[in-house]
A and B are shown apart, each in its own frame.
Chain A
């Protein structure tokens, strides 16, 4: 090879610090868990809080992932994403209430089947709503962030009201299925069963999403589209169709997150989506708009932070997450894992 110097690997010259740099955000999670351990005197409380923090983080991730991808792919900011959360929760809970025979039975299989059915129903309904939302609300306002924010916010208001029309104005209380009630004891710490299930489900979804994004052509198109949609088009892919698909999938995931959240809080309201959106926004901002990995890490950080501070100083729980956001934006103004945009 005559052109050897050009081909010499540049990476070999990177120092350890430089090589660690991209992994810094990942290290923040254990760092926060450690900080939690040091500030919470009791190891058992710490373990309980860590598990519930992770559970909360996983749920926020499930909800936020679709939103961040939708933004990354088409530069569309959807303030109405919370509507899918609320709708999903109401549909899921309605199904669970209908299947009370299954949820009340002391059989894990029947319980999980009921929960699975509720989640699938919620995803199906919110997926369809997402399709309509994209067409009616979002499509006419491409290219204008201002109008997107206004119109999707309007969509959220209407959706919230529709929930009232369909399910009435009151909140609904929902008990967890029989076998997911109560808790187990591990190293002396009380761990709610449902939270463990939520952590497991969230992890599976994250890994599944990663596998799709890294291992399938569709995933490649999505990742490439986040970076440079025009080039994806010029290569022969209809990015609009991919976008609609992602929008629908993101809406369905938000609906699933709504069911998970409803079972976590054991109560649902039409307004819950809007409330969760506050944490979702913090997560997508600190994760880096458009980045699924950043979103995952951000969600875990927010969930843990929320639970640790709620234990240490309950009044500061939400403020602590604002502080987290401010700190991360001071460190990386574009978020932890900013998406490289070709422009």
Chain B
């Protein structure tokens, strides 16, 4: 049963299995384990980022393609929901239609970019996606009449998913259940399903062809696989998944803006997580995201403390300034690419 859900691609390591189970358990019961609003926020963000990063891993780790437009697709899903609710008014139909429209747009965009750049040279893809994603981000923040510009858009979602909704009179397991919790489980289960779908994809014959192409595109082509076709499909799938994650994110946040969905910083975060977690493993997305979010929350505090306690030294406090934590991540990232290309998961599986 478990094997079926995991598509036969188990953790292959006791420690990894335990870590994954712990993460799954914690996320599944997050509202009861950590009742605060802040921690629920973090838990939802982790769920969504796991899917976002996993969908990026599908492209980077399995197809060997570097894209810098992943946040653009993420944003398309989010803006799809926002614009649909704006046009159609609050309702589940708007949420569903917006999600589908955003996903479809992302898929079409991805297909066009893929056909354009992958046909010539795989490295064009990285450069072209970077250029296009930046142009779209600029455009979104400028077309304020439609997108709300830099301020973004607030999204009105059905009342059942908002904190104002109280389905139960009495606390359940010591928690006053609100629509916010229902919204969290919407996020949790959609992300879980999406993750399992992607796990299935990478372990299907299609996924194996992708890996063959990543290892040696020339040979795969010679054997008779249409490399461009497989890469394009991977791109489209990955973009669609990112857009779905974006839609879920928008519904959860009840807000969409350029900084939360389209920013370069988010793109870099995704890149860092996928490499540190482990490229081409899917589970790397889970472990990487959790490590990253925890680091973001706690490492920064620690750095702040360390920076203050070394204030008498030259330069050191600047290097340890919490604002510089991206630098340390960057160094970790470079070292990971050199020495542990299969990341934390690869290490745990013992084949790094």
Residues of A within 8 A of B (CB): 77, 79, 137, 140-141, 145-147, 149-151, 153-155, 157-158, 161-162, 164-165, 169, 274-275, 277-278, 281-282, 284-285, 289, 314-316, 318-319, 321-322, 325-326, 329, 333-334
Is B315 an interface position by the 8 A CB rule?
Answer: yes
Interface hits, B299-344 → A, CB 8 Å: 315, 318-319, 321, 323-324, 326-327, 329-331, 333-334, 337-338, 341
Pair A162/B134 contact, Cβ less than 8 Å? no
Is B130 an interface position by the 8 A CB rule?
Answer: yes
Known: A77-B123, A277-B130. A158 touches B138 (CB 8 A): no
Is B128 an interface position by the 8 A CB rule?
Answer: yes
Pair A150/B142 contact, Cβ less than 8 Å? no
Known: A149-B66, A169-B323, A326-B116. A278 touches B131 (CB 8 A): yes
- A282 to B132: give the CA distance in the assembly, Å: 10
Pair A164/B323 contact, Cβ less than 8 Å? yes
Give the chain A neighbours of B119 by CB distance below 8 A: 333
Give the chain B neighbours of A275 by CB distance below 8 A: 134
Is B126 an interface position by the 8 A CB rule?
Answer: yes
Interface hits, B101-146 → A, CB 8 Å: 116, 119-124, 126-128, 130-132, 134-135, 138-139, 142-143
Pair B131/A154 contact, Cβ less than 8 Å? no
Give the chain B neighbours of A146 by CB distance below 8 A: 60, 64, 66
- Name the contact of A281 in the complex, choosing from B131, B264, B337 (C-beta under 8 A): B131
Pair B315/A154 contact, Cβ less than 8 Å? no
- A184 to B8: give the CA distance in the assembly, Å: 73
Pair A322/B264 contact, Cβ less than 8 Å? no
Give the chain A neighbours of B330 by CB distance below 8 A: 154-155, 157-158, 161
Pair A150/B134 contact, Cβ less than 8 Å? no
Give the chain B neighbours of A278 by CB distance below 8 A: 130-131, 134-135
Expressed in whole angstroms, the minimum distance between the Cβ of B227 and any Cβ of chain A is 15
- Name the contact of A161 in the complex, choosing from B132, B139, B324, B337 (C-beta under 8 A): B324
Give the chain B neighbours of A333 by CB distance below 8 A: 119-120
- A274 to B318: give the CA distance in the assembly, Å: 22
Known: A149-B123, A150-B337. A318 touches B135 (CB 8 A): yes
Interface flags, B234-261, vs A, CB<8A=1, else 0? 0000000000000000000000000000
Pair A154/B333 contact, Cβ less than 8 Å? yes
Expressed in whole angstroms, the minimum distance between the Cβ of A301 and any Cβ of chain B is 14
- A254 to B219: give the CA distance in the assembly, Å: 38
Known: A146-B66, A333-B119. A315 touches B142 (CB 8 A): yes
Is B16 an interface position by the 8 A CB rule?
Answer: no
Pair B327/A147 contact, Cβ less than 8 Å? no
Known: A154-B337, A165-B324. A274 touches B139 (CB 8 A): no
Expressed in whole angstroms, the minimum distance between the Cβ of B150 and any Cβ of chain A is 13
Pair A145/B138 contact, Cβ less than 8 Å? no
- A150 to B264: give the CA distance in the assembly, Å: 15
Give the chain B neighbours of A145 by CB distance below 8 A: 122-123
Q: Which residue of A lies closest to B264 (CB)?
A: A274
Known: A150-B337, A157-B330, A158-B334. A282 touches B131 (CB 8 A): yes
Interface flags, B145-167, vs A, CB<8A=1, else 0? 00000000000000000000000
Known: A161-B324, A274-B264, A334-B120. A79 touches B338 (CB 8 A): no
Pair B135/A165 contact, Cβ less than 8 Å? no
Give the chain B neighbours of A165 by CB distance below 8 A: 315, 318-319, 321, 324, 327
Q: Which residue of A lies closest to B333 (CB)?
A: A154
Known: A145-B123, A146-B66, A326-B116. A137 touches B134 (CB 8 A): no
Pair B116/A147 contact, Cβ less than 8 Å? no
Pair B337/A151 contact, Cβ less than 8 Å? yes
User: 6 closest A-B pairs (Cβ-Cβ)?
Assistant: A161-B327, A157-B330, A281-B127, A158-B330, A154-B334, A318-B135
Expressed in whole angstroms, the minimum distance between the Cβ of B336 and any Cβ of chain A is 9
Give the chain B neighbours of A274 by CB distance below 8 A: 264
Known: A140-B338, A277-B130. A150 touches B324 (CB 8 A): no
16 residue pairs A–B, Cβ–Cβ below 8 Å: A77-B123, A77-B127, A141-B337, A147-B341, A149-B123, A153-B271, A154-B333, A157-B330, A158-B331, A158-B334, A161-B326, A169-B323, A278-B130, A316-B139, A318-B138, A322-B135
